[in-house]
Chains A and B, each alone.
Chain A
C-alpha cells in the first residue's frame, strides 16, 4: 500500500525532535483505562485564565511548520496553533480514538469507492491575523508539504493522491497539484489513486492545516506560522522556550474540540526527563501549574506512588496503540517452518518481559498483533497459549515434530540502546525463557543508530529480531498493512513486512477493507484479518506499553488521550 512507508514506529522515536508525540508509551488495558483527575472541581464554562507551564524534553529544533511536523492526531502543542480538516475527539476514554470534524463540517464525504473525498468548511473561521480561512489555503498547505525543502511529514499523501508521486510542491515550475480542487472558498475535494477508507484519519495531520499563501516564508515559516488555533506564538526560542498567548479571533463557537482554558501557555523546552519527573513530582510553586507533553513517569516515581496517595492521585494513564513482538523472517531457516514459529510462540515468558518494562502498570502482555488499545480492530485470540510464563513442554514437543528433538540455536537481533523499548532487558529475558524449551538464543546487539537499517533491509534482515510497531492513527490499516501486505515488501531498506509474507488472498482482503467507509465495519474487518493472520504465527506478539504521566497538583481536567498516549493539552485548566 504505502510505496514508501516511513516507519510508523518512527513516530515514537521522532517525538522528541518533532512536536508532541510519544516517547515510550503505549497502551493496553482493555479499552479506556484512562482516568480523569481533578474533574470534580472542573467546569468548562469557568475554566479560563491563568498560565499553564509545560515541561518538555523536546527542543523543537525543527520549529513549528505544519508541512514539516510529523504528528499523531495533530500532536499536542501543534494542535493549539493549527486547526485541520478533521481532528481526534477531545475526550477521555475509548471515544478519544475517533476522528471528528475540525475546520470541516463533517469527517468527509466519500464517493467513487472511497477514492474521492469532499470537505466543506465551517463558516466564520479566521486566522490569528483576522483574515478568513479558505479551502484554497488548505490546498496550499498540503502542496507545501510536497516541497523538498519542507520534507519531514508523513508519507501517505505522496502515495495516495493522484499525481502525488511526481508533484514537487508549489515553489517550482509546476505549482498546482491537480488532484486537490477547490470549487469554492468553503469546499475542497481530494482525488485518490486508490480507495482509502482511512482518509479522515490522515486529514487530522498538521499537513491539513491552512497556510495563507501571502504569509508563506518557506523554510522560515517554522519560527512564526500563522495560527488558526486558539493560541498564537508570543515568543519562540528553539531549545529553550515557547510562549503561547490567545488568538483573539478564535472562539469556542467554531471549535468544539479545544477548550483552551489557560490565557497563556509557557513551554520550557530541552529539559531532561529526570528534571521533568522531579519537578512534576514535587509540584512546588509554578510547577503546580505544570504538565508535560512528552515525558513518561520514571519507574522510581511510579514505585514511590504506591505508598503516597497524593502522588498517585496525580498519575494519569492512557494508551497509544503499539505492539512489541518477535519478528520472524519466514524466508530464512528455521522460521520457514511454521512448527518452529509455533514453538517460539509457546515458549515466550510474557511476565518477565512485562516486568522488564517496569511491571504491569507500564506494560500489558499481548497475544494478538492488534493491541486492545486500537479499539474496533482488536480481535482477541490466543492460538498458542503460553500462559503467564511460557509452556516449555509444548514448545519442546513442537520442536521435536519440526525435526529438532535436541533443541536448536538461533540468533536474536535487538536494539542495543538500553533505554529503547526493544532493548537489552527484553533480549536477556527472552534468552532465559527460551532456554527452558531447549532453544539457545544467541544475542546480536545492533547499535540503535543502525538497527532499523539492518533489520528493515531484505538483504540484511536477521532470521529473528525484536521489533516494535506503533500506528500513525488508531486503525487496523496502518497497523496491519505495512507488516503483512506482500506488496509492501520493499527490496532493500525500509521494509516493515519482516516476515516477508505474501498471500494474494490477504492482499485482496486488504483492498476490500480499504473501500469500507463505515469506520466500525472497517475496524471489525481489520480485527478479523488480524485473527486470521495470527494462526500463521508470523510474529510472536509480546506486550503493549501503557503510558503513565504525572501532572502538577493544580492542573485540572487532565487525561491521557487514547489516540496518542499523552495529555490532551487543549483540555487542561489551571483555574
Chain B
C-alpha cells in the first residue's frame, strides 16, 4: 500500500527529470514569485499600480499615452494605461495576485467538493450513488457562464469579489472532478486491500481516507493541475465582463476589457495583459500535462 506522502517527492523528482517538466516548473514558480514579490518589483520600478499620470496623456485625442508604443519608458517599463496614466507593469504584477489567488482558491474548492461527492457516490449504497451521480450530471449540464454571470450580478457589490469568484467557480465546476473520483473509487473499492480493511471493521470514513484516497492521488492531481489554468481563464473572462474585482484593484481580465477599445490606437496596451495571460495559462497547462505523463507514463500518448 503506497503512503500518500511517498508519492510527493517522487512526483517532483520525476517532473524535474523531464526537460518539459523542468521548464513548466520554472515558469510556474516564476509566476508565483512575481505575484508574491509584486510590492518589491513595483518599488524597484519606482511606481505603484494606482497613481494617475495625467501629464503623460494626450487628452485632446482621447486620453491615450503621449509617447509612442503605449508610453514605454525607463520609468514605465510596460507603458501606461490610456485615460488614467497608471503604470501597466505595476498593474500587471498586482493583477497576477488576483489571477493566481482566484485560480488557486477555486481549484481547491472544486477539489474538495469533487472528492466529497465522488467518494460518497463511490462508497455509498445504490441509492446514494444514483442520487449523487444524477446531481453531478445536473450540475454538469448547467450553462456555466450564464450561471456565473447571474450569481455575480445578484450578490451585493460589498461582498469581497475574489472570495465570491472562488465560491462561484468552485460551486459550478466541481462536477468533472466528482465523476473521475467516483469512477476510480468504484474500481478501487473492489480491490483486496479495501476488502481486507473492511473485514477488519474499518469505518467507511477510515476506508475512504486511508485506503481509497491514496489511490486517487494520481488521476486527481493530474486533473486538478489542468483545472488551474481553466479557472484562470474563467476569472479573466468574468472580470472582462465587468463582474470580477472592483476598481481600483487591478486584474488581467479587467485590463483586457478596458484595452478592447484601444487595440487599434494603442495595441501595446492589449498585448501586454493578453500575452501575460497566454504565457501563464500555457505554463500551467504544460505543468498539468507533465504531471499527467510523470504520474502515468503508460498513458503518455493518450
Query: Is A544 part of the binding interface, using a Cβ–Cβ cutoff of 8 Å?
Result: no
Number of interface residues of B (CB under 8 A): 30
Q: Which residue of the partner chain, among B84, B156, B157, contacts A355 with CB atoms under 8 Å?
A: B84
Query: Is B9 part of the binding interface, using a Cβ–Cβ cutoff of 8 Å?
Result: no
Q: Which residue of the partner chain, among A298, A304, A358, A446, contacts B83 with CB atoms under 8 Å?
A: A358
Q: Which residues of A contact B156 (CB under 8 A)?
A: 447
Please provide the chain A residues from 358 to 383 with a CB less than 8 Å away from any CB of chain B in the complex: 358-362
Q: Which residues of B contact A433 (CB under 8 A)?
A: 52
Query: Is B77 part of the binding interface, using a Cβ–Cβ cutoff of 8 Å?
Result: no
- Cβ of B265 and Cβ of A303 under 8 Å apart? yes
Known: A351-B54, A431-B248. A303 touches B64 (CB 8 A): yes
Please provide the chain B residues from 48 to 87 with a CB less than 8 Å away from any CB of chain A in the complex: 50-52, 54, 57-64, 83-85
Q: Which residue of A lies closest to B158 (CB)?
A: A444
- Cβ of A354 and Cβ of B59 under 8 Å apart? yes
- Cβ of A432 and Cβ of B157 under 8 Å apart? no
Q: Which residues of A contact B61 (CB under 8 A)?
A: 302-303, 306, 359, 361
- Cβ of A416 and Cβ of B54 under 8 Å apart? no
Q: Which residue of A lies closest to B53 (CB)?
A: A352
Q: Give A280 to B158 CA distance when docked, in angstroms.
A: 40
Q: Which residue of the partner chain, among A299, A349, A444, contacts B63 with CB atoms under 8 Å?
A: A299
- Cβ of A359 and Cβ of B265 under 8 Å apart? no
Please provide the chain A residues from 427 to 455 with a CB less than 8 Å away from any CB of chain B in the complex: 427-429, 431-433, 443-447
- Cβ of B60 and Cβ of A446 under 8 Å apart? no
Q: Give A188 to B71 CA distance when docked, in angstroms.
A: 64
Q: Give A433 to B52 CA distance when docked, in angstroms.
A: 8
Shortest beta-carbon distance from B63 to chain A in Å: 4
Known: A351-B54, A425-B83. A304 touches B153 (CB 8 A): no
The residue among B62, B84, B262 with the most chain A CB atoms within 10 A of its own CB is B62
Q: Which residues of A contact B214 (CB under 8 A)?
A: none
Query: Is B247 part of the binding interface, using a Cβ–Cβ cutoff of 8 Å?
Result: yes
Q: Which residue of the partner chain, among B246, B257, B262, contacts A416 with CB atoms under 8 Å?
A: B246
Q: Which residue of the partner chain, among B57, B59, B153, B264, contacts A300 with CB atoms under 8 Å?
A: B264
Q: Which residues of B contact A425 (CB under 8 A)?
A: 83-84, 247
Query: Is A418 part of the binding interface, using a Cβ–Cβ cutoff of 8 Å?
Result: yes
Q: Which residues of A contact B51 (CB under 8 A)?
A: 432
Shortest beta-carbon distance from B81 to chain A in Å: 10
Q: Which residue of B lies closest to A301 (CB)?
A: B264
Q: Which residue of B lies closest to A447 (CB)?
A: B157
- Cβ of A356 and Cβ of B261 under 8 Å apart? no
Q: Give A361 to B60 CA distance when docked, in angstroms.
A: 6
Q: Which residue of the partner chain, among A355, A361, A362, contacts B57 with CB atoms under 8 Å?
A: A355
Q: Give A302 to B61 CA distance when docked, in angstroms.
A: 7
Query: Is A424 part of the binding interface, using a Cβ–Cβ cutoff of 8 Å?
Result: yes
Q: Which residue of A lies closest to B153 (CB)?
A: A447
Q: Which residue of the partner chain, among B52, B62, B158, contacts A432 with CB atoms under 8 Å?
A: B52
Q: Give A418 to B57 CA distance when docked, in angstroms.
A: 21
Q: Which residue of A lies closest to B83 (CB)?
A: A355
- Cβ of B62 and Cβ of A303 under 8 Å apart? yes
Query: Is A286 part of the binding interface, using a Cβ–Cβ cutoff of 8 Å?
Result: no
Q: Which residues of A contact B263 (CB under 8 A)?
A: 300
Q: Which residue of B lies closest to A431 (CB)?
A: B248
- Cβ of B261 and Cβ of A424 under 8 Å apart? no
Q: Give A306 to B63 CA distance when docked, in angstroms.
A: 12
Known: A300-B265, A425-B84, A428-B247. A358 touches B157 (CB 8 A): no
Shortest beta-carbon distance from A300 to chain B in Å: 5
Q: Give A303 to B59 CA distance when docked, in angstroms.
A: 10
Q: Which residues of A contact B158 (CB under 8 A)?
A: 444-445
Shortest beta-carbon distance from B106 to chain A in Å: 22
Q: Give A60 to B64 CA distance when docked, in angstroms.
A: 36
Query: Is A460 part of the binding interface, using a Cβ–Cβ cutoff of 8 Å?
Result: no
Query: Is A389 part of the binding interface, using a Cβ–Cβ cutoff of 8 Å?
Result: yes
Query: Is B215 part of the binding interface, using a Cβ–Cβ cutoff of 8 Å?
Result: no
- Cβ of A359 and Cβ of B246 under 8 Å apart? no
Q: Give A428 to B54 CA distance when docked, in angstroms.
A: 14
- Cβ of B59 and Cβ of A355 under 8 Å apart? yes
Q: Which residue of the partner chain, among A300, A355, A362, A427, contacts B262 with CB atoms under 8 Å?
A: A300
Q: Which residues of B contact A417 (CB under 8 A)?
A: 242
Q: Give A466 to B177 CA distance when docked, in angstroms.
A: 45
- Cβ of A418 and Cβ of B261 under 8 Å apart? no
Q: Which residues of B contact A352 (CB under 8 A)?
A: 52, 54, 84
Q: Which residue of A lies closest to B156 (CB)?
A: A447
Shortest beta-carbon distance from A449 to chain B in Å: 8
Q: Which residues of A contact B58 (CB under 8 A)?
A: 359
Q: Give A418 to B243 CA distance when docked, in angstroms.
A: 10
19 intermolecular pairs with C-beta atoms under 8 Å apart = A298-B261, A300-B263, A300-B264, A302-B62, A303-B61, A303-B262, A303-B265, A352-B52, A352-B54, A355-B85, A356-B83, A357-B83, A358-B62, A359-B57, A360-B59, A418-B242, A429-B52, A431-B248, A447-B157
Extra A-B contacts (7), CB below 8 Å, given A359-B57, A433-B52? A300-B262, A349-B54, A352-B52, A355-B63, A361-B61, A444-B158, A445-B158
A-B pairs with lowest CB-CB distance, top 6: A445-B157, A359-B63, A303-B62, A303-B265, A428-B248, A355-B63
